[in-house]
Amino acid sequence: MSIYLHDIPLSQAQARLREALQDADLWRVLGTESIPLDENALGRVTAEPIWAKVSSPHYHASAMDGFAVRAVSTNDAMPSTPVRLWLGPEAQYVDTGDPLPEWANAVIPIENVESLDENDQITKDIRTPKSIRIRASVAPWSHVRPLGEDIVATQLVLPAGHILKPVDLGAIAASGHQEIKVSRKPKVAILPTGTELVPIGSDLKAGDILEYNSLVLAAQVKAMGGEPTRYPITKDDFDLICQHVQEAAQDHDLVLLNAGSSAGAEDFSSKVVEKLGTLLVHGVAVRPGHPVILGLLNRKSNEEIVSPRRHGDASSPPLVAPRNDMIPIVGVPGYPVSAALTIDIFVEPLIAKWLGRRPKELPTETAILTRKLVSPAGDDDFVRVVVGRVGEKLLAAPLSRGAGVITSLVQADGLALIPSGTQGIEAGEKIQVRLYRSRSDNILHRLA
């Protein structure tokens, strides 16, 4: 029986997981799907580069309401020597967005034109005159949006791995698409375990612990672009936990087992992983959150998922999608702050890789620490801080370091890292802070 965990450095733990996933061919985009180009595509990640199928505009378009003309025919127009152009052969009324006639190469805005009737008098039918009189020349392509001004057919509109914003959807539509290929959302099973746990909203007696880690983890996974499934609480029963983990492994890409990741009497997670697969890491030198477990699970069988035959094509072979026979499992520590940070540290980069996007990087600023912090030399220690600007200085004030104090994460503006190798930082020294909130959300509003 091992009471003590053998913590390994964070970078080594991350590398061990990555290598195991590479060996299992799981360190890549998990899969792709075509979805309709509508507002639900927001936040999805492009699975391939998007090339323009059409140009935008796809013809020479008037940029104003006015008259399409040949620029050369306006060359002599001056305030004192106006030029007259006849409707039909020399000028044609166009609304904004209308295509220019083949012979035209410029537009004169309607407010720069005198519209004349059959008696050469100025007419109120400004859009359907017999002729127009102009008192200034126009350059070729004036007030014209030339074909391809915005997008030229075949050009790259967006690269693969791009997180879709509202305007991106417009650009994709403008380039002739009505569907879009995106990476599929990783399916993440979240299994809370613990005999002492009770569901949110329960009446509490001494020893009952409200189970809300699964809620936070699910929300984190959702915010990262994954698809979480929350399982009911499993009591501390080794066989029951094994059974539920194996069930979850069948139709998910990742299992988060919370908690039981430490080394106590009822901490079954490492044994569960050893029984159902391979234990890669048990214990990481990071605070809070060090009793993390990383492993791979074997799925029950190497069965393959057989897609239904194409309709009306019964003779063709069934479409077979190869199915991975392993999936990763993370044993997530029980304390809520440890749990949330474990997801940020180990699960975010994994979901990023599976979606094909860049991992999230928090903006980092240098701040002055307001009071001394001590820290075990061997650990990467993440300290929650409140940040505020005083004069030219950015100050970072440490919050509670208790791993059970979730309100400290609610209040935190960012995380200050005391790197391993450092035993502490004095008040007044500089510290790097990863900011949860952008500068405007945070500091500017605090000053307002």
Which of 166, 308, 322, 391 is in the footprint of its own copies by CB under 8 A? 166
Which is closer to its own copies, CB of 265 or CB of 314? 265
DSSP codes joined into one string, 392-434: TEEEEEE----TT-HHHHHH-SEEEEE-TT--EE-TT-EEEEE
Which of 42, 240, 305, 390 is in the footprint of its own copies by CB under 8 A? 42
Residues 353-372 that bind its own copies (CB under 8 A): 358, 361-364
CB of 116 to its own copies, least distance (A): 17
- How far apart CA 143 and CA 38 sit, in angstroms, is 32
Which of 19, 33, 150, 239 is in the footprint of its own copies by CB under 8 A? 150
Decide: is 389 part of the binding site for its own copies (CB under 8 A): no
Which of 200, 314, 321, 447 is in the footprint of its own copies by CB under 8 A? 200
CB of 444 to its own copies, least distance (A): 7
Q: How many chain residues bind its own copies (CB under 8 A)?
A: 86
DSSP state of 182: E
CB of 204 to its own copies, least distance (A): 5
SS3 assignment, position 308 = coil
- How far apart CA 263 and CA 130 sit, in angstroms, is 93
Question: Are the beta carbons of 249 and 255 closer than 8 angstroms?
Answer: yes
Which is closer to its own copies, CB of 223 or CB of 377? 223
Question: With 0-12 CB in 10 A as exposed, 13-18 as middle and 19+ as buried, what is 191?
Answer: buried
SS3 assignment, position 97 = coil
- How far apart CA 323 and CA 343 sit, in angstroms, is 25
Residues 285-344 that bind its own copies (CB under 8 A): 334, 336, 340
Which is closer to its own copies, CB of 55 or CB of 183? 55
- How far apart CA 400 and CA 419 sit, in angstroms, is 18
Decide: is 242 part of the binding site for its own copies (CB under 8 A): no
DSSP state of 250: H
Decide: is 444 part of the binding site for its own copies (CB under 8 A): yes
CB of 423 to its own copies, least distance (A): 22
Which is closer to its own copies, CB of 56 or CB of 375? 56
Which is closer to its own copies, CB of 157 or CB of 294? 157
Question: With 0-12 CB in 10 A as exposed, 13-18 as middle and 19+ as buried, what is 380?
Answer: buried
DSSP state of 246: H
Residues 78-137 that bind its own copies (CB under 8 A): 95-99, 110-111, 127
Which is closer to its own copies, CB of 204 or CB of 319? 204
